[in-house]
């Protein structure tokens, strides 16, 4: 069944090519199409385009379809082009002529739009919950290991003292930036496009404020053409937010792969969380972390993919938009999985508490501390830098390893309570 059926059949090759994987991805939109259809039907009744009897029949039919979605028996067979045609068919099959009236004053364009907006709102909430769990794990680890020092690096060279407290909390606070972008994407999704029809409105006296309230949107996309213009733009904004989350995870994964190396030996994991080599019996490989990095990096390419799909398309609908659905939904699922497995790995991390002990390689880690000590004694910074530099070059440098960092966000003053407050503010 096709919503645009005019009494002729499409060539099988064309049918297969144009439908693509829509049936698979549309399963994720089924409950949202039912939700939007119910709100649309209620609005049609309010405006007199449906009788109360017809609305009650549609309400009952939609509830029955939702039940099949909830219990996992809902399917989209190959005889249907997409979820929208399947639901309309099911409605008509269950309640008769009233089912044929559900499409009054709407187009498949705004059906897809409103379903995607509802989907994005829900999925962003789910992603944020996963981020909260990872955030709490990182902040807990920061407090637990705040006194354990590790070397900080610039240019991949030993630079200055850092700590596990500083390192774990850094990634916790970085997640706040990602939440801010997710919030922005959610705000863009929180605009009701339903009622824009094919993108140019309708001659029916629809009440778009009614569906906006029924679907719990913060506002509506007032201009019908602007509503259609959100196709592709919404997906791109969400993609940038997903890429931001993924950038944080990729960098953390890279740190952990490095720190797990025997050459560094800063952290460890139970052997059950690593994998082996086919020929080297001693190997315990960080495959999970490497795949987390790779999968996160792949998601970071999504904004570019979407940009190339929609770039230079004129206003109005284009079938190009169909390809947005799978790419975005796959990325959403992957981000949630990445956050979950990262949280699991971190809950099992083992921290080496003796990284800096009696190791010549970290001798110069304290050179800046030595410079700062001279400055506090009244020596100018440039002169202090020269003195310590000459000591190092002459092999006469002997560091003092006592650290006195007190400013906000330093080793001695992590401000984790402030970081948690900031997270709660934006969450």
**DSSP assignments along 276-305, one per residue:** --SS-TT--B-HHHHHHHHHHHHHTTHHHH
Q: Which of 77, 88, 79, 94 is nearest to 111 (CA)?
A: 88
Alpha-carbon torsion, ordered 375, 379, 380, 385, to 10 deg:
-70
Mean pLDDT (whole number) for 306-328: 93
Exposed, middle or buried: residue 407 (CB in 10 Å: 0-12, 13-18, 19+)? exposed
Assign 283 a pLDDT band (cuts: 50, 70, 90).
Answer: confident
Strands 191-192 and 219-220 come out as parallel
Assign 21 a pLDDT band (cuts: 50, 70, 90).
Answer: confident
Contact 244, 300 (CB under 8 A): no
Return the exposure string of 38-50: e unless at least 16 CB atoms fall within 10 Å of the residue's CB, then b: bbbbbbbbeeebb
What is residue 15's predicted lDDT score, i.e. its pLDDT? 62
Q: Which helix (H) or strand (E) holds 158?
A: strand 157-163
What is residue 13's predicted lDDT score, i.e. its pLDDT? 73
What is residue 67's predicted lDDT score, i.e. its pLDDT? 97
Can you list the alpha helix ranges (DSSP code H) found in 145-203? 164-189
pLDDT > 50? residue 65:
yes
Fold exhibited by the domain 108-149+163-212+224-351: Fumarase C; Chain A, domain 2 (1.20.200)
pLDDT > 80? residue 318:
yes
Strands 157-163 and 267-268 come out as unpaired
What is residue 360's predicted lDDT score, i.e. its pLDDT? 87
pLDDT > 60? residue 8:
no
Assign 78 a pLDDT band (cuts: 50, 70, 90).
Answer: confident
What is the rounded CA–CA span in Å between residue 75 and residue 93?
15
Domain boundaries, the chain: 12-101, 108-149+163-212+224-351, 360-418
- On the question of a common fold for 12-101 and 108-149+163-212+224-351, the answer reads no
Mean pLDDT (whole number) for 296-319: 95
pLDDT > 60? residue 61:
yes
SS3 151: strand
What is the rounded CA–CA span in Å between residue 84 and residue 40?
14
Mean pLDDT (whole number) for 387-400: 94
What is residue 218's predicted lDDT score, i.e. its pLDDT? 98
pLDDT > 50? residue 4:
no
What is residue 256's predicted lDDT score, i.e. its pLDDT? 97
Q: What is the largest CA-CA distance in the chain?
A: 95
Q: Is 106 left (phi over 0), alpha (psi -120 to 50) or beta?
A: beta
What is residue 11's predicted lDDT score, i.e. its pLDDT? 62
What is residue 282's predicted lDDT score, i.e. its pLDDT? 76
Please give the model's pTM, rounded to 2 decimal places. Answer: 0.93
What is residue 359's predicted lDDT score, i.e. its pLDDT? 83
Could you tell me which CATH number the domain at 12-101 has? Answer: 1.10.275.10
pLDDT > 60? residue 378:
yes
What is residue 22's predicted lDDT score, i.e. its pLDDT? 78
Share of the chain above pLDDT 70, in %: 95
pLDDT > 70? residue 276:
yes
Q: What is the pLDDT of residues 130-174, one digit of tens each?
A: 999 999 999 999 999 999 999 999 999 999 999 999 999 999 999
Q: Bridge partners of 360?
A: none
Q: What is the pLDDT of residues 203-218, one digit of tens each?
A: 999 999 999 999 999 9
Q: What is the pLDDT of residues 229-261, one digit of tens each?
A: 999 999 999 999 999 999 999 999 999 999 999
Q: What is the pLDDT of residues 97-117, one digit of tens each?
A: 999 999 999 999 999 999 999
Assign 279 a pLDDT band (cuts: 50, 70, 90).
Answer: confident
What is residue 253's predicted lDDT score, i.e. its pLDDT? 97
What is residue 313's predicted lDDT score, i.e. its pLDDT? 93
**How high is the mean pLDDT of the chain?**
93
Among 18-32, 331-345, 392-406, top mean pLDDT goes to 331-345
Q: Residue 274 CB: number of other CB atoms within 10 A?
A: 16
Instruction: Give the CA angle between residues 156, 407, 161 to the nearest 5°.
Output: 25
């Amino acid at each position: 069944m096709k919503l645009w059926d005019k009494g002729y059949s499409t060539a099988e090759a064309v049918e297969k090519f144009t439908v693509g994987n829509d049936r698979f991805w549309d399963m994720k939109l089924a409950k949202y199409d039912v939700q939007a259809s119910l709100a649309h039907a209620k609005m049609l009744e309010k405006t007199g385009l449906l009788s109360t009897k017809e609305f009650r029949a549609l309400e009952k039919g939609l509830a029955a379809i939702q039940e099949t979605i909830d219990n996992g028996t809902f399917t989209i067979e190959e005889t249907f082009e997409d979820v929208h045609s399947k639901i309309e068919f099911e409605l008509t099959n269950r309640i008769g002529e009233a089912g044929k009236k559900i499409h009054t004053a709407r187009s498949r364009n705004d059906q897809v739009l409103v379903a995607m907006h509802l989907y994005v709102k829900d999925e962003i909430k789910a992603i944020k919950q996963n981020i909260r769990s990872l955030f709490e794990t990182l902040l807990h680890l920061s407090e637990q290991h705040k006194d354990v020092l590790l070397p900080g690096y610039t240019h991949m060279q030993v630079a200055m003292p850092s700590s596990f407290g500083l390192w774990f909390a850094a990634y916790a606070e970085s997640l706040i930036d990602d939440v801010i972008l997710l919030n922005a994407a959610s705000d863009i999704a929180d605009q009701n496009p339903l009622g824009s029809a094919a993108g140019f409105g309708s001659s029916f006296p629809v009440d778009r404020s009614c569906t906006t309230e029924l679907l719990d949107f913060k506002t509506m996309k007032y201009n019908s053409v602007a509503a259609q213009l959100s196709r592709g733009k919404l997906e791109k904004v969400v993609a940038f937010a997903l890429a931001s989350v993924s950038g944080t995870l990729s960098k953390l994964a890279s740190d952990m792969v490095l720190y797990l190396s025997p050459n560094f030996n800063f952290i460890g994991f139970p052997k059950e969380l690593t994998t082996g080599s086919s020929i080297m019996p001693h190997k315990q490989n960080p495959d999970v972390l490497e795949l987390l990095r790779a999968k996160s990096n792949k998601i970071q390419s999504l904004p570019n993919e979407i940009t190339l799909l929609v770039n230079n398309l004129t206003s109005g609908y284009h079938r190009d938009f169909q390809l947005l659905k799978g790419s975005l939904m796959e990325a959403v699922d992957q981000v949630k999985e990445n956050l979950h497995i990262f949280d699991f790995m971190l809950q099992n991390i083992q921290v080496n508490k003796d990284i800096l002990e009696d190791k010549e390689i970290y001798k110069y880690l304290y050179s800046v501390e030595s410079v700062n000590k001279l400055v506090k004694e009244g020596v100018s910074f440039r002169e202090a830098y020269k003195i310590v530099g000459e000591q190092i070059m002459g092999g006469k440098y002997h560091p003092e390893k006592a650290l006195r960092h007190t400013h906000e966000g330093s080793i001695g003053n992590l401000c984790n309570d402030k970081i948690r407050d900031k997270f709660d503010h934006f969450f």
